[in-house]
Structure 1
Amino acid sequence: MPRADLTWTPQGTPGSARFGDIYYSRDDGLAESRFVFLEGNDLPRRWRDHPRDTFVIGETGFGTGLNFLLAWQAWKAAPLPRPRLHFLSLEQYPLRAPELRQALAHWPELAPFAAALQDAYPPPVPGVHRLQFEGGAITLDLWWAEAGEALADLRQRGLPLVDAWFLDGFAPARNAGMWQEALLGHLGKLSQPGATLATFTAAGAVRRALQASGFAMRKGPGFGRKRERLLGRLERPAERTLPAGTPWDLPETRSPAPRSALVIGAGLAGCATAAAFARRGIPVTLVERGRLAGAASGNAQGMLYTRLSRRHSALTDFALLSFVHASRTYAAMFAGGELESGRDGELCGSFHQHRDREELDALAPLLADTPELAQVLEAAEASARLGVEQQTAGYWFPGSGWMSPAALCQAWTRREGVTLIEDCGDATLRRSGGQWQALGPGGELLATADCAVIACAGHSAGFEGLDWLPLQAIRGQTTQLPAGPPFNSLRTVLCHAGYIAPATAGGHCIGATFNLGDDCVAARAADHRHNLDTLGRAVPAWAGALAELDAATLEGRVAFRCTTPDYLPLAGPAPDLGALTQRFAGLRQNARRDIPHFGAFVPGLYLNIGHGSRGLTSTPLAAELVASLACGEPPPLDRHLARALAPARFPIRDLGRNRL
């Protein structure tokens, strides 16, 4: 991401060298923001009478985050009951973390809020970054993107989202792009009926563009030396229109947010999904055929992993964004006492061996600007960091580490509003009276809810209407190494062709094999030996000690990863295969043909499966996506990535290849 190019006045006020303007008033930035944006949108009074569970604020220009912190402070002081607050902000030139810290140090009264923002603040990685505060009652979506592109992306969904707008780009005369008519024209289409807006500028071109977008505009008194400002209220709500292309990923109608949810499968995906609904105050029943985290989520240790690449793709972009999100999620759970560091996991960092020198040299200068995300380490520095001799360079991820998947699942299911039912056997689902029912093997009713999420990996294809799911099971066997020398010198996670983390009370969990087409459920000595030899090649200093271990006496575990053909998870609404096939049958003759129809989906049914070996990384963000879609909220991913995860992508591809 491009830098903000900050300047600083002698009084400590930040400014932009790029635009020749300051981020807030030199006289009293707090008073200006409260007057222009909070009072201008009649907040917090409107929260008292808000008809929905969530109030959404949209902002053009996050800057130092001052407006968000003041909205949070005002929300915190507002009387109960109050809606959840969802703050959606766009920024093309995000401040780096040290710059943010310096800018916000100017406001001691905001220190508790600023500290929480700084702890969660994401690196300048393009895309959407979802931050959560107050136990999930406040959501901050930071779109590190050009504002016009981000608004156009949100508008493609065709759904009204925003209740109040803070238009806070630099002055129109200095940053005309933030105030262009095309950009402002998106606002009306993204606004709820009765939405308001406020801005410090009174420029006539801005007023006319907002009027054309459907807002009734008026002038109000400005702050300080500014004579006037603009205020608006949406008087012409936009009708929903089909976006260009073939919008097979979008539902035709918007369902109301569910009042209850049902999740089938209590592994990482299911437990993360249950927690996502619970954060929204939605009671959720979690149904598990066996025991909590008893299948692929039952390994003693799992690694928080991502991939880096010079080339953008849906796979690499989602891997990176979900990694950043997961690392932030787990750090908050450790800080909040939901997890105990060293017992349930540890964000101790991880080093990933990488033998492609050309790739390392190409990425090193790019990563120099984001050391909090990743760095290139040469072998000597990696050896010092790990406490284990390394013979190759690689990537260092300071926010990475290891987690106990079972402990994580337990923490998520302890959230208020989550009810866990274990040992249910193979449940079935049926829809009756507009609700979903989970039935046990004998037909007994287990739970009823407004919406249902299937998150039971390879077993998902056994549900009615889902036999088309292109899921693949890949056997993986881990090996338990004894604690003690020489392995106890390891201080961080080491990823190579396998992985190893610092020991827990049960020793080191290493692995894992990758056995395609193998359905053996028993642990094998040959696979233990494979894991030992792989680690010995990664750490030659340990090769002798590893060779002396008797593989036949070692403990281990076998589980089956559930993957998809493109290695991306399936996270989103379940398609109605018959209706989808009929609606988009024209793709059989021309896969590139534009078919102006919305997608076809089973009402209230969602999937969150196919995370493969990266469930610790991908499930928290996928769960947020599913819950956001079910509740009609602003999404935590841009549309390109949401489509890349949408379950309907496979039937659509098969139609285009004339295989369906």
Structure 2
Amino acid sequence: MGEDLSRSVPSLPPAIESADLEWRDGQPVSKRFGDVYFSRENGLEETRYVFLAHNRLEERFQALPSGSTFVVAETGFGTGLNFLATWLAWREQAPNDAQLHFISVERFPLTRSDLRRALALWPELEPLADALLVEYPPLVAGTHRLIFDGGRVRLTLYFGEAREAWQSLSFQANAWFLDGFAPALNPDLWAETLIQSVAEHSQPGTTFATFTAVGAVRRALQAQGFTVRKVPGFGRKREMLSGELDSDSRLDAMTDAASADGEILVIGAGIAASLVARNLADRGRRVRVLSKGTGPADGASGNPQAALYVKLGVDYGPETQLALHALLHAQRTYARYDQQCASDGFWHPTGLLQLATTEQEVSRQARFLDRTDYPADVLRPVSAREAGELAGCPVDHGGLWFPASGWLAPAMVCSALLDHPGIICEFGCKVTGIAPRNDAWHVTDQRGRQWRADQVVMTGGHEVSDLLPGPAHYRFRAIRGQVTQLPAEALHDPNTVLCGQSYVNPGHQGYAVTGATFDLRDSDPEVRPSSHRENVEKLDSWLPGIWRDGVHPPIETLRGRTSFRCTTHDYQPVVGPVGAGPEGLFVLTGLGSKGFALAPLLAEWLVDRITGQPACLTAALTDRLTLSRCVSGTR
């Protein structure tokens, strides 16, 4: 929910009800539970005493081996104070190349404005609090992955019930913060089934701490195999509990599935490959990118402009849930990398209008708004008049306004992502074969060069199917798409991305991109005047006021580009292990026309899988994206 947005309790997904606060002496108190979020004496010192000290985090951080991963899990995010205190200790004590994963659940998340007000109480945390506020997601139920310190710190924030979170998330914790309100005020949080989930997500030697000392919590922890100790509490609290899961030895750092010493091969250099390679490199892996082109983004990712856009379903099912969370993650991802870019920038968050330009779309959007509830900082309905004001050009239709979306310069994105000391790029390298040998993967190119790797990630659109090992045939389709570059001086140049029966972007470097055609069973790679005419006539049909002089430019003067998007039989992407041969071969493809929106989140999950780190997506979503569902027979 937006900072200045006041709304009633949402009754429909995906929005989630925010915390209902009152402020007493400048500190937040939950009206719902009648309890404080932190000690009135000193909340930060309480966090350090209860959670950091009694999990021995500073000494454990200092003792971590190079390149390791440490996982902290928490049962109530609240104001984020525990996370920020842990992050600060990590910065000060852990090796520079170690990875911190912090996993937390919140049923009633704070709005961004309440979060800002609460964290302003701790000036020493201000730089970290500001970073958290920038990344803090809209109040949408489900899993959000936030990334800090160049990928050194990852926060997996689940908005929803704790019981649902622990049943659906995949991770093993090294330490638990059993936070939340007092058991008598919030009994659901402390149910025996939830404590059982805590044990299931713990490895031998995992520690815990909680500010409560009630007998029911102590007995539930002991029943799950935890050693429990009563120790002095903080401030006016006489006692608290701490302990660990029984074991003969302590295992403080997770062992990653991919060795930090082994090079990982990524095939392709489009948006999927670039995001996977950079994600791996940011986590300390060495990556070699093999691409047949002469530079980044030479295939389907290489258009001059790309709109960051998804079309959300009328009913909030798994496909729409994935699309929404992917869009939100993509907005954060491109903004974060754009800040690190030394050039003029590739991410343009102009906002995006999805206009209802047909009776069918008017009806669809009406049903969409009736059946679902989205926070206004994700999307909101607008009239034709407001749409025109936002666009800054004549618009005849209302629709949906996505304020945080926009457009990208694809080649700049991919180049910036691949510009990392841990990534080596080899262009002009057309991969012709991938085969298992001696429990590893051997990759061959057109000149007979070979590379050996334990892990290989295949991107590259529909051409992936020609390289996959085994006799299976896969239901991938290559769809021809031609875009048209319209001279900006011929347009009432829009301020924002406009989507109707096609799309048009704001002008950039003298041109605005529109399109693209959707040409099934058409393998012609050439730019055709007939496709330019199709793009112009389609744009003219739903946005006739776009032309400055009332007419479009001569077709024969227009420039453009043709590429081939890869989609699957069910129009859902493919991500995950291949399953043929030894472990270590992965694929990310089938993104269709929504690659720039889907790829950041899918790449994040895929690298979670490759490295054996906590997953940012639930199995309920990723099980629908397996390669095996696309098998149709043998070659």
Q: Give the structure 1 partner of residue 206 of structure 2.
A: 195
C-alpha distance after superposition, 1:514-567 (max 9, x if no partner): 111111111111111111111112222236857442212211111111001222
- Would the aligned equivalents of 2:16 and 2:159 in 1 still touch at CA under 8 Å? no
Q: Give the structure 2 partner of residue 633 of structure 1.
A: 613
1:130 to 130, 145, 149: 145
Alignment of 1:319-338 (within 5 A): 319-338=323-342
Q: Give the structure 1 partner of residue 444 of structure 2.
A: 439
- Would the aligned equivalents of 1:306 and 1:617 in 2 still touch at CA under 8 Å? yes
- Would the aligned equivalents of 1:339 and 1:408 in 2 still touch at CA under 8 Å? no
> Are residues 1:2 and 2:16 paired?
yes
How far apart are the structure 2 equivalents of 1:539 and 1:384?
Answer: 15
Q: Give the structure 2 partner of residue 164 of structure 1.
A: 175
- The structure-2 alpha-carbon separation of the partners of 1:353 and 1:339, relative to structure 1 and needing over 3 Å to count, comes to farther
Any stretches of 5+ residues in structure 2 without a counterpart?
Answer: 1-14, 250-254
Which stretch of the first structure deviates more once superposed, 351-360 or 316-325? 351-360
Structure 1 SS opposite 2:442: strand
- Would the aligned equivalents of 2:272 and 2:600 in 1 still touch at CA under 8 Å? yes
Shift of 1:435: 3.0
C-alpha distance after superposition, 1:296-343 (max 9, x if no partner): 1110001000223341222211111000000001111222335634xx
- Would the aligned equivalents of 1:537 and 1:543 in 2 still touch at CA under 8 Å? no
- Would the aligned equivalents of 1:267 and 1:294 in 2 still touch at CA under 8 Å? yes
C-alpha distance after superposition, 1:556-595 (max 9, x if no partner): 111111001222211111123xxxxxxxxxxxxxxxxxxx
Alignment of 1:116-127 (within 5 A): 116-127=131-142
Alignment of 1:126-525 (within 5 A): 126-154=141-169, 161-235=172-246, 255=257, 257=259, 259-291=262-294, 292-338=296-342, 340-341=344-345, 344-354=346-356, 355=358, 356-361=361-366, 364=369, 370-445=375-450, 447-463=451-467, 464-465=469-470, 467-488=472-493, 490-525=494-529
- Would the aligned equivalents of 2:440 and 2:582 in 1 still touch at CA under 8 Å? no
Q: Give the structure 1 partner of residue 531 of structure 2.
A: 527
**Runs of 4+, deviation exceeding 6 Å:** 365-369
Q: Which amino acid aligns with 2:435?
A: R
Alignment of 1:15-94 (within 5 A): 15-51=29-65, 53-78=68-93, 80-81=95-96, 83-94=98-109
> Are residues 1:113 and 2:157 paired?
no
- The structure-2 alpha-carbon separation of the partners of 1:545 and 1:531, relative to structure 1 and needing over 3 Å to count, comes to farther
How far apart are the structure 2 equivalents of 1:314 and 1:452?
Answer: 28
Structure 2 SS opposite 1:468: strand
- The structure-2 alpha-carbon separation of the partners of 1:173 and 1:485, relative to structure 1 and needing over 3 Å to count, comes to same
Q: Which amino acid aligns with 1:109?
A: E
Alignment of 1:613-652 (within 5 A): 613-651=593-631
How far apart are the structure 2 equivalents of 1:237 and 1:477?
Answer: 63
Q: Which amino acid aligns with 2:193?
A: A
C-alpha distance after superposition, 1:384-404 (max 9, x if no partner): 011012111111111111101
- Would the aligned equivalents of 2:16 and 2:160 in 1 still touch at CA under 8 Å? no
- Would the aligned equivalents of 1:368 and 1:375 in 2 still touch at CA under 8 Å? no
Q: Which amino acid aligns with 2:349?
A: L
Q: Which amino acid aligns with 2:352?
A: S
- The structure-2 alpha-carbon separation of the partners of 1:466 and 1:17, relative to structure 1 and needing over 3 Å to count, comes to farther
Output the aligned Cα RMSD.
Answer: 2.3
Q: Give the structure 2 partner of residue 248 of structure 1.
A: none
Shift of 1:432: 3.3
How far apart are the structure 1 equivalents of 2:342 and 2:232?
Answer: 48
C-alpha distance after superposition, 1:202-242 (max 9, x if no partner): 1111111112222111111101111111112111599xxxx
Structure 1 SS opposite 2:617: coil
Q: Which amino acid aligns with 2:142?
A: G
1:562 to 555, 560, 566: 566
C-alpha distance after superposition, 1:600-633 (max 9, x if no partner): x741010010110011101111111111001111
C-alpha distance after superposition, 1:168-218 (max 9, x if no partner): 111100000110000110112211221111111111111111122221111
How far apart are the structure 1 equivalents of 2:18 and 2:548?
Answer: 52
C-alpha distance after superposition, 1:362-389 (max 9, x if no partner): 5558888622111111110010011012
Q: Which amino acid aligns with 1:69?
A: L
- Would the aligned equivalents of 1:460 and 1:466 in 2 still touch at CA under 8 Å? no
- The structure-2 alpha-carbon separation of the partners of 1:361 and 1:237, relative to structure 1 and needing over 3 Å to count, comes to farther
C-alpha distance after superposition, 1:16-74 (max 9, x if no partner): 11111111111110111111111010011101223561101011111111100111111
- The structure-2 alpha-carbon separation of the partners of 1:144 and 1:487, relative to structure 1 and needing over 3 Å to count, comes to same
Alignment of 1:545-624 (within 5 A): 545=549, 547-576=551-580, 602-624=582-604
Structure 2 SS opposite 1:613: helix
Shift of 1:349: 0.7
How far apart are the structure 2 equivalents of 1:153 and 1:435?
Answer: 32
- The structure-2 alpha-carbon separation of the partners of 1:621 and 1:237, relative to structure 1 and needing over 3 Å to count, comes to farther
Structure 2 SS opposite 1:443: coil
- The structure-2 alpha-carbon separation of the partners of 1:540 and 1:199, relative to structure 1 and needing over 3 Å to count, comes to same
TM-score (norm 2): 0.91
How far apart are the structure 2 equivalents of 1:518 and 1:544?
Answer: 34
How far apart are the structure 1 equivalents of 2:94 and 2:141?
Answer: 37
Q: Which amino acid aligns with 1:208?
A: R
Shift of 1:636: 0.9
Q: How many residues align?
A: 609
Any stretches of 5+ residues in structure 1 without a counterpart?
Answer: 239-252, 577-600
Q: Which amino acid aligns with 2:87?
A: W
Q: Which amino acid aligns with 1:280?
A: R
- The structure-2 alpha-carbon separation of the partners of 1:145 and 1:260, relative to structure 1 and needing over 3 Å to count, comes to farther
How far apart are the structure 2 equivalents of 1:63 and 1:487?
Answer: 47
Structure 2 SS opposite 1:319: helix
- The structure-2 alpha-carbon separation of the partners of 1:365 and 1:19, relative to structure 1 and needing over 3 Å to count, comes to farther
TM-score (norm 1): 0.88
Structure 1 SS opposite 2:489: coil
Shift of 1:648: 2.7
- The structure-2 alpha-carbon separation of the partners of 1:366 and 1:99, relative to structure 1 and needing over 3 Å to count, comes to farther
C-alpha distance after superposition, 1:281-303 (max 9, x if no partner): 00000000123211111100010
Q: Which amino acid aligns with 2:350?
A: C
- Would the aligned equivalents of 2:489 and 2:510 in 1 still touch at CA under 8 Å? no
Q: Give the structure 1 partner of residue 4 of structure 2.
A: none
Q: Which amino acid aligns with 2:60?
A: R
Structure 1 SS opposite 2:137: coil
Shift of 1:495: 1.0
Q: Which amino acid aligns with 1:394?
A: G
